[in-house]
Structure 1
């Protein structure tokens, strides 16, 4: 059984189209975009660029992909959904809650990250983690909750691939989403964790420790899909289009995302 106790760890305060015609802000209130937590830094930049180019704004809500899907099924008034695992978009589409089956916008990666001063090394092979477990040098190790966070599920798969999932179980600290897992992993109260590459690449997180990519073939792909919900208005529609523009794609690449067609 996973240890789901939430530690009182000190958060480090994760901060929160070419030729696209401006959309009148009077047409509707600012739409709320439900976005996977790994997008926190990339999508914030994209939304700012969208606002500068079009004169309109969107509100961003970051969290667990699975939790957002449940909220949407229960009637939450989001207009666009950007999932870290495309299976959740398929689930909502099958329920008739989306305009269509959506668009693949990125593929994510996971890294092992450790804070400065950790007894662990940032090691994508996870061998230093295996050795620390054998030596009794692990007290806490952070991942997102695999029950509803795709990055947590991929972390679990990578740990199983290396045969250390069961041994690590008593020491796991589960973040509600991968952003919270990154807080735990870099707080100094944990030896490290497995988090999103996109978060590790941000200046706010990278300065707190070191990281190394985990091989992509150790886990199922993090195929990230976005979709407009039935309630989407013109601003949300314009933002959906903007995600596929060169300006937005460059920002996504800066944060380590693989992109469709590249």
Structure 2
């Protein structure tokens, strides 16, 4: 019996490891734009409660996540981009399934700042000496950074305040710069401002191109059926209510762009 015990213990260890690996494999891996952090975190909990499927999120800039999927550097089951053009780019590359592409909503931006320092902040204040630094997401790979740049160009102050700009790798980092007081103000997603103590002044959607979000299922997903369930959940009444509570404008159900 003593001789058999080590073998029995080894069997239990292997079985446990296999079950852990199986559990991890069954989890749904979702890559999403940083502005979706709060909304998708809430939605992931609700989805898991309804379906019993664990959702593991990877949040980052849309451009960088797109590049990862293009190059096969990471395998995700769902990709939610901050702009539909990135999904279209992946469709053309054959990296995501075209028939799973769906518009999930439209984002908004605004200026965040400390109310004790600036009781009211508008575009004229951005050019004043009161504001020494302004954070935005990097417009080279972040749709919200592109929207911020377009807004500042529309206002005719992009060149004037260029030296004040501090680029975050994504929109969450731009917000963190303002929250940590490393910058005087930041132009961020309305969706992220909901959980911030900073004041938020909305920017008119007419000052920049629409920030149309979309999602799709990557071709390399090993859980396409469950991935589609998550896509459908995002577009469901409950999913859209969550997105709307974070300031997203909801598209009609089933719209494909």
Question: Does structure 1 residue 247 correspond to structure 2 residue 238?
Answer: yes
- The residue correspondences of 1:144-223 to structure 2 (distance < 5 A) are 144-202=137-195, 205=196, 207=197, 209-223=198-212
RMSD: 1.7
**Are 2:131 and 2:185, in contact at CA under 8 Å, matched by a contact in 1?**
no
Question: Does structure 1 residue 51 correspond to structure 2 residue 43?
Answer: no
Q: Following the alignment from structure 1 to structure 2, what is the Cα–Cα distance between the partners of residues 144 and 30?
A: 30
**Are 1:99 and 1:228, in contact at CA under 8 Å, matched by a contact in 2?**
yes
Equivalent of 1:94 in 87, 92, 97: 92
Structure number with the higher helix fraction is 2
Normalising by the residue count of structure 1, what TM-score does the alignment of the two structures yield? 0.83
Question: SS at 1:143's partner residue?
Answer: strand
**Are 1:82 and 1:224, in contact at CA under 8 Å, matched by a contact in 2?**
yes
Compare 244-253 and 60-69 and name the one that shifted more: 244-253
**Are 1:119 and 1:191, in contact at CA under 8 Å, matched by a contact in 2?**
no
Q: State the 1:235 CA deviation.
A: 2.2
Equivalent of 1:83 in 71, 81, 84: 81
**Are 1:35 and 1:65, in contact at CA under 8 Å, matched by a contact in 2?**
yes
Compare 110-119 and 240-249 and name the one that shifted more: 110-119
Q: Following the alignment from structure 1 to structure 2, what is the Cα–Cα distance between the partners of residues 185 and 198?
A: 15
Question: SS at 2:117's partner residue?
Answer: coil
Question: Deviation string for 1:51-101 (max 9, x for gaps)?
Answer: 111111110111100000000011021111100011100000000111116
2:125 counterpart residue number: 128
1:66 counterpart residue number: 63
Q: Following the alignment from structure 1 to structure 2, what is the Cα–Cα distance between the partners of residues 239 and 200?
A: 25
Gaps of at least 5 residues in structure 2 are 1-21
Q: Following the alignment from structure 1 to structure 2, what is the Cα–Cα distance between the partners of residues 199 and 108?
A: 10
Normalising by the residue count of structure 2, what TM-score does the alignment of the two structures yield? 0.84
**Are 1:85 and 1:225, in contact at CA under 8 Å, matched by a contact in 2?**
yes
Q: Following the alignment from structure 1 to structure 2, what is the Cα–Cα distance between the partners of residues 144 and 69?
A: 16
